[in-house]
Amino acid sequence: MPSDGSASLGSVDGYVEANRAWWDELVPLHAASGFYDLIGFKGGRSSLDGIERSEVGDVTGCSLLHLQCHFGLDTLSWARLGAHVTGVDFSAPAIELARTLTSELDLDARFFCCDLEALASQLPQRFDIVFSSYGVLSWLPDLRQWADVVADHLVPGGRFHLIELHPFAGMFDDQVEDLRVRFPYFRSHEPIRVERPGSYAVPGAPTTNQVTWSWPAPTSEVITALLDAGLSIESFREYPSCHEQLLANLVRDDGRWRSPPDEPQLPLVYAIRASRPAERT
């Protein structure tokens, strides 16, 4: 796959493969980055933030499926809190590292390298909790297919937790301090092409694969997809702070990033809790 992404034009599979190459290359860079702080994690630090902990709550004894888990730090953090965890990601190097960490830290976890649309054939099990967080939906060309995967992997009465970067904040150019709309809010057939070195964790790092393709995920489409999949929406919350600097004008406040105090606060994160209805007896 060429780094300019030219082979991806006009092909959803091509877009996904270009994104996979981007993520594959970033695994060792992310593992060595201060953003992920792998040394601190191995020493006992949790990678989960306060929003994730408060939204999901107690997971002791629960089976938990983490979709799009990258190399598994959040997945393993849930394991440390007492969940029986399974992580899934489409990047083979990410899953390889997640399995290495699981063995090294002797945690109760397993990991599968799999595209979401093929997950049912590899993992027919249902779970008490399905979880996904931060920057996951924009990589998916089909939100309805994603929602069906979520619903199909929940036990009756099980719950789904999504903590996601807010699509409103995703409209703005993240390279300039002035708020300037650069990206669409609503989804169209063609994805958004972005070309730059590095990533959110290692900005500017020299990389071979620099082109990514993404699809906006407006909250209305996310909620509708979950409802159409048969889930019940129990809560929807928005938050004015995030664990990473999504926009150049954000300031750090008590360990999190938010709009400057003298400016209107932007929604940066949202959280959805949904459940699969219990079967009637």
pLDDT tens digits for range 7-24: 445 589 999 999 999 999
Closest to 32 measured CA to CA, from 199, 213, 227, 149? 199
Q: Looking up tokens 């926009």, which residue turns up?
A: 247
- pLDDT at residue 1, rounded to an integer: 38
CB 129 within 8 A of CB 63: yes
- pLDDT at residue 84, rounded to an integer: 98
- pLDDT at residue 280, rounded to an integer: 62
Residue 143, both tokens: 């939100």
Q: What is the pLDDT of residues 129-166, one digit of tens each?
A: 999 999 999 999 999 999 999 999 999 999 999 999 99
Q: What percent of the chain has pLDDT over 70?
A: 96
Q: What is the pLDDT of residues 222-255, one digit of tens each?
A: 999 999 999 999 999 999 999 999 999 999 998 8
Q: pTM here?
A: 0.94
- pLDDT at residue 2, rounded to an integer: 40
d(CA 199, CA 267): 22
The helix-helix angle for 73-80 and 92-105 (nearest 10°) equals 30
Q: 5 pLDDT exceeds 50?
A: no
CB 259 within 8 A of CB 249: yes
d(CA 213, CA 8): 9
Q: What is the pLDDT of residues 121-133, one digit of tens each?
A: 999 999 999 999 9
Every domain of the chain and the residues it spans? 6-34+59-275
Residue 224 makes CB contacts below 8 A (sequence gap 6+) with none
SS3 71: coil
CB 80 within 8 A of CB 101: no
CA 207 centroid distance within chain: 21
CATH superfamily of 6-34+59-275: Vaccinia Virus protein VP39 (3.40.50.150)
Q: 4 pLDDT exceeds 90?
A: no
Question: Cα-flanking dihedrals φ and ψ of residue 135, to 5°?
Answer: 75, 35
Q: 281 pLDDT exceeds 90?
A: no
**Average model confidence (pLDDT) across the chain:** 94
Q: What percent of the chain has pLDDT over 90?
A: 92
Q: What is the pLDDT of residues 27-86, one digit of tens each?
A: 999 999 999 999 999 999 999 999 999 999 999 999 999 999 999 999 999 999 999 999
Closest to 65 measured CA to CA, from 117, 131, 111? 131
Distances (CA, A) of 102 to 49, 75, 79, 106, 107: 20, 10, 10, 6, 5
Model confidence at 269, in pLDDT bands (50, 70, 90)?
very high
Quick one: which H or E segment has residue 67?
Answer: strand 63-67
Distances (CA, A) of 9 to 18, 190, 191, 213, 215: 10, 9, 10, 10, 14
Phi-psi sector, 217: left (phi>0), alpha (psi -120 to 50), beta: beta
